Amino acid sequence: MNPIVVVGSVALDSVRTPFGEAEEALGGSASYFAFSASHFAPVRIVAVVGEDFPVAHRELFDRRGIDLSGLETTAGRTFRWRGEYAAELGHAHTLETQLNVFSSFHPRLDRHHRASPFVFLANIDPELQLEVLDQMESPRLTVSDTMNYWIARKPERVLDVLRRVDVALLNEEEARALSGETQLVRAAAQLVQLGGKAVIVKKGEHGSLYATQEELFVAPAYPVSGLQDPTGAGDSFAGGFLGWLARTGRVDADSRRQAMAYGAAMASLAIEAFSPARLIAAQPTEIGDRVSTLHRMVEFRLEPLSK
C-alpha cells in the first residue's frame, strides 16, 4: 500500500468540554491524522517533541505501526495546548498555547519521507508547508490544512500553499476568512477561483463539501450519539480522506467522493472520546458501517418530474 507522510504537530493537550476533561493527553494535528490514516495505509510522522514526551504515548503510535523515524526529540518541553469548548462544541476557545520545542521546528525529511506518494501538510506555518513541498520528490497527492492564525498573519503564504497542493482543507470559519465570502459554497468556489485545484470545507455537524472547477460534492456528518470532545475532528477527517485514497491507490474524482465519506466516518469516531483513544480502538467493521450509514443517509432515487 502507498505510504503517507504527515508533517504537523505532536502535542500534549489539556481539554475541557461540557462532558469532561483531559490533562496532558496525547494530541496534535499529526497525531490525530496518523491514528486515523493508520486504519488505511502506512503512515510516517515528521514532527518534533521535547525530552518530556511520555514513552507511553510513543508506544501508542508503535502499536498502530506508525513510523516515528521522523519524530525528532530535542532539548526542551513538548508543544502544549490548553482549550475548552462551550455547549455548542463548535469552536475551541484556546486558553494557552506553549509552542516550546515547536517554535524552532523545521521539518527534516529523510529519503523515505521524500519518496512518499501521499503527503498531508497538517496545520503548521505555511512557510514550513512550502519547505516540505519543495523537498517532496514526485508525490501523487498532496493535501494541506491550515488555521485562522495563519490566515490572519500570512494570507499570501496560505494561498501559495493552497495553489500548490492537490487538495486544500479548511473549516468553515477559515474558508470564510480566506475567501471573503459568507456562503460556504461560494467561499469554496472563490478559493478555486483564486487557484485552488480542489478545496474541502469542513462544516462540523453540517458535514463537508468538496469543490473543484467541475465538481461539487457534499458529505453529511455521521450522527454521533455520544459526542465527547471535538478536538482532532478535522485531522481525523483528513486521515480518512487521504487514507482511503492511499489504500486504493486512486485519486480520481469518484474516489475522492468515497474518501469524503471515510473522512466523515473517522471524524465521528475521533469525537466520541477525549484524546485519540476511540480513533485508535476503531474496528474496520465499524468504519465500514459508518460509511454505509452515510451512503444511506443521502440516497434517493432520481425520478423525473413528468407531466
Of 284, 139, 144, 137, the C-alpha closest to 200 is 144
Q: Is 279 helix (H, G, I), strand (E, B) or coil?
A: helix
Is residue 280 involved in binding its own copies (CB under 8 A)? Answer: no
* DSSP assignment string, 213-270: SS-EEEEPPP--SS----TTHHHHHHHHHHHHHHHHT--SHHHHHHHHHHHHHHHHHH
Number of residues that bind its own copies (CB under 8 A): 45
Is residue 304 involved in binding its own copies (CB under 8 A)? Answer: yes
Q: Binding string, 164-203, against its own copies, x = CB under 8 A?
A: ------------------xxxx-----------------x
Of 134 and 303, which has the nearer Cβ to its own copies?
303
Is residue 213 involved in binding its own copies (CB under 8 A)? Answer: no
The three cell numbers locating residue 187: 467561499
Of 124 and 184, which has the nearer Cβ to its own copies?
184
Strand 20-27 relative to strand 80-84: parallel, antiparallel, unpaired?
unpaired
The stretch near its own copies (CB under 8 A) out of 57-65, 67-75, 123-131, 250-258 is: 250-258
Is residue 214 involved in binding its own copies (CB under 8 A)? Answer: no
Segment holding 72, helix H or strand E: strand 67-74
**Binding residues for its own copies restricted to 122-161, rule: CB under 8 A:** none
Question: Which residue of 24, 131, 258, 272 would you call a contact of its own copies, by CB under 8 A?
Answer: 258
Q: How far is the CB of 50 from its own copies (least distance, A)?
A: 36
Distance of alpha carbon 260 from the chain centroid: 12
The stretch near its own copies (CB under 8 A) out of 21-29, 53-61, 95-103, 215-223 is: 215-223
Q: In the chain, which ranges are continuous DSSP H helix?
A: 29-37, 55-63, 111-114, 126-135, 148-153, 155-164, 172-179, 184-193, 233-248, 253-270, 277-281, 284-298
Question: Which residue of 94, 104, 193, 292 would you call a contact of its own copies, by CB under 8 A?
Answer: 292
**Binding residues for its own copies restricted to 33-92, rule: CB under 8 A:** 39-40, 87-89
Strand ranges across the sheet with 80-84? 20-27, 11-17, 80-84, 93-98
Residue pointed to by grid coordinates 452515510 = 294
Tally Cβ neighbours within 10 Å of residue 173.
Answer: 16
Q: How far is the CB of 41 from its own copies (least distance, A)?
A: 11
Of 95 and 298, which has the nearer Cβ to its own copies?
298
Q: How far is the CB of 79 from its own copies (least distance, A)?
A: 30
Is residue 282 involved in binding its own copies (CB under 8 A)? Answer: no
Q: Which residues bind its own copies (CB under 8 A)?
A: 39-40, 87-89, 182-185, 203, 205-207, 216-221, 223, 227, 247-248, 254, 257-258, 260-262, 284, 287-288, 291-292, 295, 297-305, 307
